[in-house]
Amino acid sequence: MNPVYDYPWDESNLKFEQLDTYASKVGTRNSVEVLVQDLLKGTNSDIEKLRSIWMWVTHHIEYDVEGFLNPSLRLNSPSEVLRTRKAVCAGYTLLFQKMCSLAGIECQEVSGHSKGFQYKPGKRFTGSGNHARNAVRLDGKWHLLDSTWGAGHVSKDGHRFTFKYNEFYFLTHPALFVRPFARGRQVAASPASTLPEAV
């Protein structure tokens, strides 16, 4: 493995094509539990379970532009996100965390700052953060992924979401994310706790 990109998988010996095709075509189910049960069929390892969940979320959950622009309309619980198939980053991360938990994979939400579509060059970051992503533990090591950004992007005017799968955000090395995100390693749900060796 390349020491700069300490991924838990090596593209030369583990292929995801068949799993990706299956997971991205699994339809929406009436509960997160049933969905995860269907997604895990044929998986043999934690990385395969994680990949199946990742592919489903990034191919079925649309960024909720209306909810982003009007916070009173945001739906973030896993069941609401599954029902509407829309979420802002918090909804993506909570759904992903729930699905991983059901699959037996340790997963936490990590909050920080990002340079999203509303970022203006030179803007200083303040406060607790404006974006959330997940950290997952595989083989005793923590890894970051961002299913919100992996699913697609919001137009420059901020009014439309386009599904455009982006592999880059699956188990991305922390150095490739915004630096303040990785520095503190604070877990959003519990400010006092940190992810040991998360990044």
Amino acid 124: pLDDT: 65
Token digits of residue 2:
């390349």
What's the CATH architecture for 17-115+126-194? Roll (3.10)
157 is catalytic: no
**DSSP H stretches of helix in 30-88:** 32-39, 46-60, 65-69, 78-84
In tens digits, the chain (199 residues) has pLDDT values of 333 334 554 454 567 889 999 999 998 788 999 999 999 998 999 999 999 999 999 999 999 999 888 888 888 899 999 999 999 999 999 999 999 999 999 999 987 656 555 555 666 656 666 678 899 999 888 899 999 999 998 888 878 999 999 988 898 877 776 544 433 332 233 332 344 344 3
* Catalytic residue of the set 60, 113, 131, 143: 131
Calpha distance 179→121 (Å, rounded):
16
Instruction: Tell me, yes or no, if the pTM score tops 0.85.
Output: no
Amino acid 15: pLDDT: 76
* Catalytic residue of the set 64, 89, 107, 113: 89
The Cβ of residue 88 has, within 10 Å, a number of other Cβ atoms equal to 23
Please name which of 23, 34, 107, 90 lies closest in space to residue 59, comparing C-alpha atoms.
Answer: 23
Amino acid 120: pLDDT: 56
Amino acid 107: pLDDT: 96
100 is catalytic: no
Provide the residue ranges of all domains of the chain, joining segments of one domain with +: 17-115+126-194
* Catalytic residue of the set 20, 46, 64, 146: 146
For residues 175 and 7, is the Cβ–Cβ distance under 8 A? no
131 is catalytic: yes
